[in-house]
Amino acid sequence: MSFRMIGKYLQDGSLVHKVNHRKQTPEDNLDDICSGFFNSVGLSKAELMSIFNDCVKIADQSYELAFIAELIITEVSEESAAIAVYHKAEEISETACDYYVLAGSILEYLQDLSWGLELYEKAIVIVEDDPDLFDCIFLAEVYCKNIPDYIRSRKLYELAEQCAITMKDFKYLADSILKNLNDEQWYLQLIEKAHSFNIFPIMMDDICMN
């Protein structure tokens, strides 16, 4: 999930490109970590761990802890400390998004396939109980690209189709299926459903013209 921001705006509206993380509050440092603005240059490993530990204490979102764990690995090389933070992130995870974002981070930074799959399975349990179009599509794409398990992916796409209710939903789903499953027949069926949403506007145009 790594990315870098080169500047941020302070409360007074001024733009800065560097801050003193030693003097910032844990809340500000956590914001910088999550936004990609955090910069470890000039900080010792001991100082970094002190900052990260303070951020862990106030973090109340799974993705926040995942960001911290990633920096512990990349900036301090303390994998055991990062694993402990990842476990705390799992403990507070609630949504499908929480679980699959955490799984992706663990797969990328720890290369722990077993743990990652376990978290993806938890996400799937949630979407099977309470389906969401974008969660289903995201997980289906994961199982196409990263696992791969095309049977599981297809089932997730089928679940996503049950959630589609707008023209954009069907088009988004169709494009994903074509790209990841290369299923042209299913793609065309979904595109036909997407186009069906244009029938009513056309009828109203005809009425107005008459």
Report the length, in residues, of the chain: 210
Instruction: Give domain 1-130's CATH architecture.
Output: Alpha Horseshoe (1.25)
pLDDT at position 18, please?
Answer: 78
Regarding predicted confidence, which is higher, 210 or 100? 100
How many Å apart are CA 18 and CA 208, to the nearest integer? 60
Contact of 107 with 80, CB cutoff 8 Å: no
Gyration radius of the chain over CA positions: 22
CA angle 62, 120, 3 (to 5 degrees): 50
CA angle 74, 78, 83 (to 5 degrees): 95
How many Å apart are CA 83 and CA 66, to the nearest integer? 10
What type of residue is 41? V
Q: Where are the domains of the chain?
A: 1-130, 143-210
How many Å apart are CA 141 and CA 149, to the nearest integer? 10
Tell me how far CA of residue 175 lies from CA of 68, 99, 143, 168, in angstroms.
Answer: 34, 25, 16, 11
DSSP string, 122-165: HHHHHHHHS--HHHHHHHHHHHHHTS--HHHHHHHHHHHHHH--
pLDDT at residue 46 greater than cutoff 80: yes
Tens-place pLDDT, residues 93-136: 999 999 999 999 999 999 999 999 999 999 999 999 999 999 99
pTM of this structure: 0.86
Q: Which residues neighbour 153 within 8 Å (Cβ) at sequence distance 6 or greater?
A: 140, 141, 143, 144, 147, 180, 181
Tens-place pLDDT, residues 134-156: 999 999 999 999 888 999 999 99
Contact of 141 with 162, CB cutoff 8 Å: no
Reading the block at residue 194, the tokens are 């997407």
What is the percentage of the chain residues whose pLDDT exceeds 70? Answer: 86
How many Å apart are CA 101 and CA 62, to the nearest integer? 9
Provide mean pLDDT across the span 170-174: 97
pLDDT at position 205, please?
Answer: 44
